[in-house]
Each structure stands twice: as C-alpha cells, then as structure tokens.
Structure 1
Amino acid sequence: MFRIAAPLILALAVAAPLQAETRVPTSQAEIALGFAPLVKQAAPAVVNIYAKRIVQARQNPFSNDPFFQNFFRDFGETRPKVQNSLGSGVILSADGYVVSNFHVVGGATDIRVVLKDRREFAAEVVLADKDSDLAILKLQDAPDMPYLPLRNSDEVEVGELALAIGNPFGIGQTVSSGIVSGLARSGTATGAARGYFLQTDAAINPGNSGGALIDVNGALIGVNTSILTRSGGSNGVGFAIPANLVAQFVAQAREGFGRFQRPWAGITGQAIDNDIAESLGLDRPGGVLISGLHEKSPFRLAGIRPGDVILGVEAQEVNTPQEMIFRMSVAGLGAEVAVRYYRGGEVSEAGVAMQLPPDSPARLTKMLGDGSPLPGLKMSRVNPAVASELGLSLEAEGVVVEDSGPYGGRVGLRRGDILLAINGQEVATPDSVEALLQNSARRVSMDVLRGLQRVQIRFRL
C-alpha cells in the first residue's frame, strides 16, 4: 500500500511563506507599479502545451445533412483522426514536473511544452485523473527549470488579489487580474472535473485551462480549469483546482503511480438542507448525512454509523460529499484524519484511516478467448476495489463487465454491467460465464443489472 508520512505531506502541500506583507496599495506610486514585478517573477514558470491524440472518427456521408444525420449516426467506417488541443501548464519543480488539466493532455500521443522564452521540450504524462481533471507531466531532457512554489490553499481567503496566467485562445501568454471570489465551490464547475474549487473573477478563457492562479507573493494557489459561461467567453466566474490537491498529485507522481490513488470512504451520503437539519436537531444546515457504510469502510471501523452527520475533516468543515472526498484526498494515503461527527445531539471525534479500497475477495479477472462466443469480454468479481474503479454502488456484488470486447459491445453489453444470469442460470464467477456461454444453444439470453435497472439482452450465436 502506498503511504506518505504526515510530515512529508505537509512539506509537499505547503510552500514556505514569503516574508512579504499582503496589503492594498497605499500610494499612487504603488498603484502605478502594478503587478509587473510579480508577473516577471511568475510568468517563466507558466507554459503553453500543445497535445495531439488519435481518435476514431466515423466517416459518415450524411453527417452534414440536416435531415438524414439523425437516422445514420452510426453509419460508415471508423478511421483514425488526429485531434489537437491547446492549453497551459505550470512548472512545479526544478527537475521539470508540470501540472495541467486532464482534458488538455489526457490520451495524448505527442505533447510539446513551450516556455515563455520560446524553449520547447517534449513531455509525457506520468500521472492523470479524469475525475479531478488534473495531470502531471515530466519534461524530457530539461535543465534546471523555473518553477512556482505551492501555497497552502486552505489559507486562501475571499477577497485576496489573484492573477491568472495562461494562453487564452492561443494568442500567447496573457495575464488577467481579479480576486478570489469564492471558496469550497463543489458541483458548480463545468467540464470533467468534480469536487472542490476556488472561484475567481480573473478572466479565464479557452486555452487558459491548466494555467496558474497565483497570489500577490507569486505562489500557486490553484490550477485554472473551467468557467461558467453562456457565450463561450469569460463572464467572471472561473474555477481553479486548489494547490493542496495538486501537491498530492506531485507526491504520487514522484512515487511512480500512473493513476491518482484516492483514500476510500466506503460510504454513501448527502448534503443537508433545512428540512433534514431540523429533523436531526441541527441549528443550521451543514455536514454530510451518512446513509450507508460498507462493512469494510474505515469510517465504520472508526465507530461511525448510518444516520451520523460528518461535520468536518481535519478542522475543515465539509458540507457536500465532494468536499469530504477532497479533504480525504488532501490528507493522503497512510494518514489518519480527525473526523468530527454529530449523533443524537452531541458532537464527537474519531480517527479514520486513509486507505485504498480492499482488493478482496480476489477479483478473479478473466478475458474470454477467440474460441468463445464473446471473445474479448473481460470480467471480474466485484470487490471494494473493483467497485471503486468502475463507480459501482456499495451494495454491488457478483460479476461485472470491465470491457465488453468487440462482440459484447455489438450485442449490447457495457462496461459496468453486472451479469446476473445466462439462459436462466445464475452467474457465480467469471469462469462460470465462459462455461454457460459455451453450453448455450443458438439463442442466448443474458440478465444484466445496469445501475438500478435490470436489463435482458438477447442475441444469436
């Protein structure tokens, strides 16, 4: 299991504060000076990123026809097509670790990073996570690089001055100024990212994604990721992923992980509104109401039960499930966090271990071979680790489809489907799926659980 000691986490997450006073300019001379010295200091560490990826595009002669395009969406052959993307990134270390957004570099086959001084380097993604919309790149053959220190983003306050640096619309490095206009934004940002964000009114536009949001001391407080807009341009509502989460990504990238590892909660819960707060005896809405816990959940092992309300993690309030997961991710694997919870009119505290979901019982992963009726079908037995990877419910059990394969996809199987029965006979293990298919007659009937819906798939061999 990957573990990071608490002192190391603190060292990674919190940059040593610069001895500079944060204050409003007090003279005309200070106002005239503006942000020029700050930009000169920070801009060399903000880079432009050019990424290419190969996608399978369907050659459809009806794609531009206003009438027939809706009838022939899946018509035509699929052919590889080069897709280009443009974004920004921030150098975080002298040895060339760079942070950007997943939607900028995810799946890229060729990445070029261009510095402000026009130097250009090849880069590769060493750690990526679609849910957080973050990716860590490593520059190849890079000398001693300029970089930005990370600030403890929990210390950021609404009203602080902030600068956004990036490459909007591909016109070149640009700086926009504003303030931090909100904290703990969850469920409001757009794009692939989910979780917890800083909000700023500094102008963020397409191409700014992955760029830096810095404070008046030149420290990185967030990575710009998305905006709320109706026109496609900035309306002054932009979101940045906090620096404390970025620090955990860098730490795991240095440990050699290719996919970000989150601590496992093993719970289901919901935000609390006024009605729920009143029914529970809370004086105001706040916290996360626990509705279910897996039997192996570290919260259950710490004594927390369904019906309890999680109020805070490590002295930080949490008001949505996304905020709680963010706080756990920032704490890091191997740590033990103090969780405050409310039960029966009293507030208590418990120590909860930050750990990966258990990979037991054994997943028994199996892929059907060429001699099978559904070659390429990949299945596993559901356990907490498998359920976490595929986004299944805590109650999920049985055999789940990890990859439908070329033929399974044609008959209607999807990733995440749980196989219940084949021709009326219950599916027990991945091995039993192969045996039941081999013993089938020409017609096959499969009972599948897809989310909360039971689906029957029928096909001929």
Structure 2
Amino acid sequence: MFRALILTLLTMVTLPVYADQKVPTNQAQISLSFAPLVKQAAPAVVNIYAKRIVQTQTRSSPFASDPFFRDFFGDLAPTRPQVQNSLGSGVILSGDGYVVSNYHVVGQATDIRVVLKDRREFAAEVVLGDEASDLAILRLKDAEDLPFLALRDSNTVEVGELVLAIGNPFGVGQTVSSGIISGLARSGKVTGSARGYFMQTDAPINPGNSGGALIGMDGTLIGVNTAILTRSGGSNGIGFAIPAAMVEQFITQARAGLAQFQRPWAGMGGQTVDADLAGSLGLDRSGGMAITQLQEGSPFGEVGLGVGDVIVAANGFEVNSPSEMLYYMTIAGIGADIEVTAVRDGKSRDYAVAMIGPPELPPRAEITLGEDEILPFLQLANVNPAVLSEFQLPILPEGVVVLDTGRLGARLGLQLGDLLREINGIEINSPMDARAALKDARRSVSMVVERGGQLVLLRFRI
C-alpha cells in the first residue's frame, strides 16, 4: 500500500497539468505568465509595409556640404524619382478598420499594405496625419469586425507599471517584449520629427517597432511606441511612446472627417522656470512655465494672465515646460475648457481658459503668381495665427510667408514656411508688396528670407 501511494505521488508530480488559461486578473497571476495577455492583445497589432516616391539627386552638388553656399545657390543638382520602402507597426483602434501608426512610417506613402497577425492583408490609406506629433490614422479598405484595443486614460499611468511592447522589430515578425514605465512627462524633441510629450519605457523597442502597441496589464493601449534613444542603433533601455490620450484626439478628429490635425491655439510663448529664473520671479523653487509672450486675442490673455505669470498646473497636473502645456491643451481639444493654475507675486490663482482654434486674423490675403511672372505659381500669404500653427513658425513673426514655392522657387532656394523680409532692398509687408517688387526687378533678384530664426540671402538672375 505504501509503495502504491509513492507511485501515485510520483505520477502526480511528473504528469503535466493542463489548466484553462485565462487572462490574469491580479498581480500574482501576471507574475506567472504574460501569455494570456499577449493572446488577447496581439491580434490587434499589425505589420505595415509602405512605399513612397522620393526625389534623389543623380549627382552631388559641389556646394552641398557647405551651408552658406547651399543657401546661396540653392540645390541645383538634378533629381530623379525613387521608390523608398518603410517597415513599421500599427494598432487597430476599431472594428471597422481605423489603425494608428507613426507618421514617419506611413506619411507621404503612395502604397500602404497592412498585414494582420492571422495573415489577412488590407490596402490602407492615411486619413489624418501630423508630422510634428509623429502620428497618423489609417483606414483599412473593406474591413469589418476586426480585433481592436481599447484606449486607457493616460493620466492613470504610473511609473513602475508593468507594460508589454508589441510590434515587428527589424521585420522578423510580431514580437513581444516586457518592461516597466520608466518615466512620464518626457517632453521636447526625442528623435526625427516627433516633438511633444512622451512616456518612457525600458521595454526593448527597435526599428520596426515604430507605431506598435505599448499595453498595460489590463490589455488596454496606453501608448504608441515611437522612438528609442540609442548610440548603437539598438534598444538600450530608453524607449518612448506617445500617450493614448493623444491618440484619442487623433481618432476623434479622423472620424469627424478632418484632413489636418487641429490643435488649440495658445497665442503665447513660455519657458521652463529653472533655479535662476525662479529667483528673479520671487519664487522659492524652480518649476512651472513662465509666460514670456502673449499675442493679441490669446485665450490666456483674455482671462487675465500676463507676461511674467508662472503656470504651474493644467487640469490638476503639473506643468513644467511649454511642451507639457501644449500637450494638456491638445488632449483637451478645441471647444473644451481647461483649468490653469498660475502664480503671480507669490499668490496662486485658478483660471478657466477656453480652447479655441487659431484665428485667421489678419486675413491671409493669399496670392499666386501667374505663369508669366518671375517666379511662376509662387504662393504667398500674410502671417496670422492659423498660418503660424500650420507651418509651426515661432510666435509673433510678422510679414509674408511662402505657402508654395511654385515651379522654380525650390530650385532657387525657397522653402515652405520661409518669411519674406526683403526683395531687392524693398521691405515686404504684404503679398502684394512681394508681387510689385518682383515685377519691378530687372536683371537679378536678391531676396532676404527668415528661416528658423536666421536670415538667409538668396540671389538669382532673371
């Protein structure tokens, strides 16, 4: 009997036990395996293959390596079209085929193919994209009843939470990596064109993970993997994701049929309050964003805020930089109000600020030069808040902006967003000033433009 009991116990130890696998519901269950969570979330993460046509130089210009001569003579090297392929990931946000990815993966693409985990393939098109945020919304053609991930409130995410990154690194196929949220409120420019407000994670993120999902332990999407900070080209434990709250604004505007992402207009400039600035403002510690500029009609100025005031919170969350302020404005959306806490003369006060779109005042007064004029089809407009927002120009510039370089402008050195300051020594204050100055030009044209805060001289012969 004793021998039979021993054999029974050995059988129980050696034979595998097959239990029903369920999605973990507490920390103890999660510590055993991520498999049920992956099984639930992975079908909503897709691989994206995109093609775009780019113009490449057929030969090098002798002035290409010198910034001065490149701006002076322009890019005169001939170009030819070339197909450029990109590989990335995306996340399905709805059963009818809306997908979020990074702009640098699908922006300007002419052909986009999306492959699901179950190997189904769909053609897709970008319905809303924004290079500055590095986000884009795709719509899959003829898609229905797809698996998708729900969005989580980004304000509930905490440092130390367990997360999974799901994507297609290096094109090897769908891959899952685990880590934690390492930091919040990482603001500024991280890499490429992405600017703003990010979550930091140590979950390995590599090329091809861009646009993939960063999910929490409840299976919801908390961020879109966007970039890594690396010297070697691989993941070194510092990855960045765009919070789901920003994604929510994109999908809302895409469903509303907007062709361009709309941000609320602040009409103000600001800077982070460091220890030196805090002392000059009479504050006992660093922190907050000091208002340094206010445009006429700014919603912040309309409620009584002024230059020198220090904004310390928005909707109850700390604000320590202009990027953080813009983030909280953006996720609130146009038409909402946000509660701003500001400090003036050592006293704190709350303000309810309406989120409005950038106004078209003064009017753009757009003009397009004719085919028989010096710079055919050059398109110009007055600078106003809407133009500033569209071209992401510094606050408070005045003058005339280049909306389209036309047939010859790009070859002569003009760029979109350039501010025209002078033509042949004549100050330019309106699009009609520019047209008149070009019309009066004789054998040569000398143009002074402001680009990135710097003055650039362009010269060419007629």
Superposition TM-score, scaled by structure 1 size: 0.89
1:274 aligns with 2:269: no
Number of the residue aligned with 2:108? 107
Number of the residue aligned with 2:56? 57
**4+ runs of 1 displaced by more than 6 Å?**
none
Query: In 2, are the aligned partners of 1:446 and 1:457 still within 8 Å (CA)?
Result: yes
Change (3 A) 1:108 1:342: same
Task: Give the unaligned 5+ runs of structure 2.
Answer: 1-22
Greater shift in the superposed pair: 414-423 or 252-261: 414-423
Secondary structure in 1 matching 2:87: strand
Deviations, residues 246-292 of structure 1 (Å, cap 9, x unaligned): 00000000000121100011111101111112222323211101111
Change (3 A) 1:107 1:450: closer
Q: In structure 2, what is the Cα distance between the partners aligned to 1:164 and 1:433?
A: 52
CA RMSD of superposed structures (Å): 2.2
Number of the residue aligned with 1:135? 136
Q: In structure 2, what is the Cα distance between the partners aligned to 1:460 and 1:367?
A: 21
Shift of 1:387: 1.9
Q: In structure 1, what is the Cα distance between the partners aligned to 2:254 and 2:178?
A: 31
Deviations, residues 81-127 of structure 1 (Å, cap 9, x unaligned): 11110100000111111000000000000111100000001111000
Q: In structure 2, what is the Cα distance between the partners aligned to 1:168 and 1:278?
A: 47
Q: In structure 1, what is the Cα distance between the partners aligned to 2:37 and 2:209?
A: 19
Tell me which amino acid in the other structure corresponds to 1:121. Answer: F
Q: In structure 1, what is the Cα distance between the partners aligned to 2:373 and 2:63?
A: 37
Query: In 1, are the aligned partners of 2:76 and 2:411 still within 8 Å (CA)?
Result: no
Number of the residue aligned with 1:5? none
Q: In structure 2, what is the Cα distance between the partners aligned to 1:313 and 1:159?
A: 24
Deviations, residues 6-25 of structure 1 (Å, cap 9, x unaligned): xxxxxxxxxxxxxx997532
Count the aligned residue pairs: 434
Q: In structure 1, what is the Cα distance between the partners aligned to 2:24 and 2:169?
A: 31
Find the structure with the greater CA-based Rg: 2
Secondary structure in 2 matching 1:358: coil
Number of the residue aligned with 2:422? 421
Shift of 1:437: 1.7
Shift of 1:147: 0.3
Greater shift in the superposed pair: 95-104 or 410-419: 410-419
Secondary structure in 2 matching 1:433: helix
Q: In structure 2, what is the Cα distance between the partners aligned to 1:321 and 1:115?
A: 38
Number of the residue aligned with 2:234? 233
Q: In structure 1, what is the Cα distance between the partners aligned to 2:349 and 2:458?
A: 49
Number of the residue aligned with 2:259? 258
Tell me which amino acid in the other structure corresponds to 1:254. Answer: R
Q: In structure 1, what is the Cα distance between the partners aligned to 2:298 and 2:354?
A: 10
Secondary structure in 1 matching 2:296: coil
Shift of 1:389: 1.6
Secondary structure in 1 matching 2:188: coil
Number of the residue aligned with 1:14? none
Q: In structure 2, what is the Cα distance between the partners aligned to 1:324 and 1:127?
A: 23
Q: In structure 2, what is the Cα distance between the partners aligned to 1:395 and 1:69?
A: 32
1:179 aligns with 2:180: yes
Deviations, residues 198-226 of structure 1 (Å, cap 9, x unaligned): 11111111100000000111000000000
Deviations, residues 37-76 of structure 1 (Å, cap 9, x unaligned): 100000000000000001111122x69xxx9996999675
Tell me which amino acid in the other structure corresponds to 1:44. Answer: P
Number of the residue aligned with 2:381? 380
Secondary structure in 2 matching 1:278: helix
Query: In 2, are the aligned partners of 1:105 and 1:111 still within 8 Å (CA)?
Result: yes
After the TM superposition, which residues 282-293 of structure 1 pair with which residues of structure 2 at under 5 Å, given as runs? 282-293=283-294
Number of the residue aligned with 2:42? 43
Query: In 1, are the aligned partners of 2:265 and 2:357 still within 8 Å (CA)?
Result: yes
Q: In structure 1, what is the Cα distance between the partners aligned to 2:122 and 2:359?
A: 40
Secondary structure in 2 matching 1:218: coil
After the TM superposition, which residues 296-335 of structure 1 pair with which residues of structure 2 at under 5 Å, given as runs? 296-335=297-336
Query: In 2, are the aligned partners of 1:58 and 1:75 still within 8 Å (CA)?
Result: no
Q: In structure 1, what is the Cα distance between the partners aligned to 2:77 and 2:421?
A: 34
Change (3 A) 1:432 1:189: closer
Number of the residue aligned with 1:152? 153
Query: In 1, are the aligned partners of 2:189 and 2:196 still within 8 Å (CA)?
Result: no
Q: In structure 2, what is the Cα distance between the partners aligned to 1:271 and 1:69?
A: 37
Shift of 1:401: 1.6
Shift of 1:426: 3.5
Query: In 2, are the aligned partners of 1:446 and 1:458 still within 8 Å (CA)?
Result: yes
Tell me which amino acid in the other structure corresponds to 1:323. Answer: E
Secondary structure in 2 matching 1:434: helix
1:25 aligns with 2:24: no
Q: In structure 2, what is the Cα distance between the partners aligned to 1:330 and 1:315?
A: 14
Deviations, residues 398-442 of structure 1 (Å, cap 9, x unaligned): 222222234233433333332233334333421232232222222
Q: In structure 1, what is the Cα distance between the partners aligned to 2:139 and 2:426?
A: 51
Greater shift in the superposed pair: 129-138 or 414-423: 414-423
Change (3 A) 1:453 1:48: closer
Q: In structure 2, what is the Cα distance between the partners aligned to 1:356 and 1:325?
A: 13
Number of the residue aligned with 1:97? 98
1:215 aligns with 2:235: no
Task: Give the unaligned 5+ runs of structure 1.
Answer: 1-19
Change (3 A) 1:68 1:296: closer
1:411 aligns with 2:382: no
Deviations, residues 315-360 of structure 1 (Å, cap 9, x unaligned): 1111111011000000001001111101001000111111111101
Secondary structure in 2 matching 1:445: strand
Q: In structure 1, what is the Cα distance between the partners aligned to 2:401 and 2:367?
A: 11
Secondary structure in 1 matching 2:348: strand
Q: Quick one: percent identity of the two aligned structures? A: 62
Q: In structure 1, what is the Cα distance between the partners aligned to 2:283 and 2:24?
A: 40
Query: In 1, are the aligned partners of 2:24 and 2:36 still within 8 Å (CA)?
Result: no
Query: In 2, are the aligned partners of 1:404 and 1:414 still within 8 Å (CA)?
Result: yes
After the TM superposition, which residues 117-132 of structure 1 pair with which residues of structure 2 at under 5 Å, given as runs? 117-132=118-133
Change (3 A) 1:412 1:189: closer
Number of the residue aligned with 1:196? 197
Query: In 2, are the aligned partners of 1:50 and 1:112 still within 8 Å (CA)?
Result: yes
Change (3 A) 1:422 1:230: closer
Number of the residue aligned with 2:370? 369
Q: In structure 1, what is the Cα distance between the partners aligned to 2:39 and 2:268?
A: 47
Secondary structure in 2 matching 1:407: coil
Q: In structure 2, what is the Cα distance between the partners aligned to 1:236 and 1:385?
A: 39
Tell me which amino acid in the other structure corresponds to 1:383. Answer: N
Greater shift in the superposed pair: 383-392 or 145-154: 383-392
Change (3 A) 1:76 1:161: same
Query: In 2, are the aligned partners of 1:205 and 1:234 still within 8 Å (CA)?
Result: yes
